[in-house]
């Protein structure tokens, strides 16, 4: 026969066990969210991280947007401002604009960067300039012999003129933001004349708290060497690797200096260039660098609180 005294003691035991399980679950959940990369081996997404990414906070949020064989990175800065590095190509220009305005609710882009005048990087820049309030615009200064005569480049120039904007020269040594825990510096280009437009690419280093992030545009080995020769600190936790993962970029020496934990590659599915090249991927693997590809995983989302980095992907 079960007594009332035994029943009460059993109920108290169950009650305390329930509390312990609940607290353990809560602690584990919080720890999981802020314990580094949120993408598990099966590629499952962290729903909690996704909700954070949809509600920008006082932290750093980066979206390496899937724009096919092109490039565009949306950055929510911890000071509340927004940066857009490149705007994809002509074919995705309207879609990108709608994504920023309708899905993200963005009205102003505080810092707009056109890394270099190739269609797959600035093809959508005119649409962005036309449709949004633009704060500061940065583009590289080109030698007269390098100025493109393409409709894409002229459309961008027309949009700048029509909005009465001034394009700031993007060149190594320019500091965009210098706050206590947030710094944004341009580390390339280091010269004003190149035979290849890729090496005019504006390369940017963002430092937030203890973490750093590189955005290399299409900068190739020549530009990488100049960065190193001029003594710039390129150590970073994440690199948006140059030229869509081409073997012309992400050289052994440069990757050694950067020593990243993660690499991001923006490229199109079955693109005709074969990007990313096997040499680049092997280099990353040899350095134990985890890499993400927009052609395989869609848009790549990164969250950083200044101490830890979480990454999740669209697919």
First to last CA, the chain: 58
Query: pLDDT for 145-195, tens place per residue?
Result: 999 999 999 999 999 999 999 999 999 999 999 999 999 999 999 999 999
On the question of pLDDT at 222 being above 70, the answer is yes
Query: pLDDT for 22-67, tens place per residue?
Result: 444 433 343 333 333 333 333 344 555 555 556 556 799 999 999 9
Share of the chain above pLDDT 70, in %: 82
| Phi-psi label, residue 111: left if phi above 0, alpha if psi -120 to 50, beta otherwise | beta
Rounded to whole angstroms, the Cα distance separating 234 from 246 reads 19
User: Given the DSSP bridges, would you call strands 262-265 and 167-169 parallel, antiparallel or unpaired?
Assistant: unpaired
């Amino acid at each position: 026969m079960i007594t009332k005294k035994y029943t009460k003691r059993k109920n108290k035991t169950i009650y305390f066990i329930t509390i312990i399980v609940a607290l353990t679950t809560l602690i584990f959940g919080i720890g999981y969210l802020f314990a580094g990369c949120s993408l598990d081996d099966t590629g499952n997404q962290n729903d909690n991280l996704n909700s954070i990414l949809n509600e920008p906070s006082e932290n750093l949020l980066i979206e390496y947007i899937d724009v096919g064989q092109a490039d565009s990175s949306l950055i929510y800065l911890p000071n509340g401002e927004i940066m857009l590095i490149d705007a994809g190509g002509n074919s995705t220009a309207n879609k990108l604009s709608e994504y920023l305005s309708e899905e993200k609710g963005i009205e102003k882009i505080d810092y707009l960067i056109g890394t270099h005048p190739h269609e797959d990087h600035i093809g959508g820049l005119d649409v962005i300039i036309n449709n949004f309030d633009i704060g500061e615009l940065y583009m590289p200064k080109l030698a007269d012999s390098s100025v493109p005569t393409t409709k894409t480049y002229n459309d961008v120039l027309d949009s700048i003129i029509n909005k009465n904007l001034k394009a700031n020269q993007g060149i190594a040594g320019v500091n965009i933001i210098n706050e206590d825990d947030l710094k944004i510096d341009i580390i390339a280009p280091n010269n004003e004349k190149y035979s290849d437009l890729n090496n005019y690419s504006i390369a940017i280093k963002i430092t937030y708290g203890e973490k750093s992030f590189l955005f290399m545009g299409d900068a190739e080995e020549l530009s990488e060497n100049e960065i190193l020769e001029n003594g710039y600190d390129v150590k970073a936790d994440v690199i948006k690797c140059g030229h869509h993962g081409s073997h012309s970029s992400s050289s052994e020496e440069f990757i050694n200096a950067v020593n990243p934990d993660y690499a991001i590659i923006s490229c199109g599915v079955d693109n005709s260039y074969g990007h990313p090249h096997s040499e680049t991927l092997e280099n990353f693997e040899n350095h134990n660098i985890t890499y993400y590809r927009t052609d395989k995983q869609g848009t790549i989302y990164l969250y950083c609180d200044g101490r830890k980095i979480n990454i999740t992907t669209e697919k």
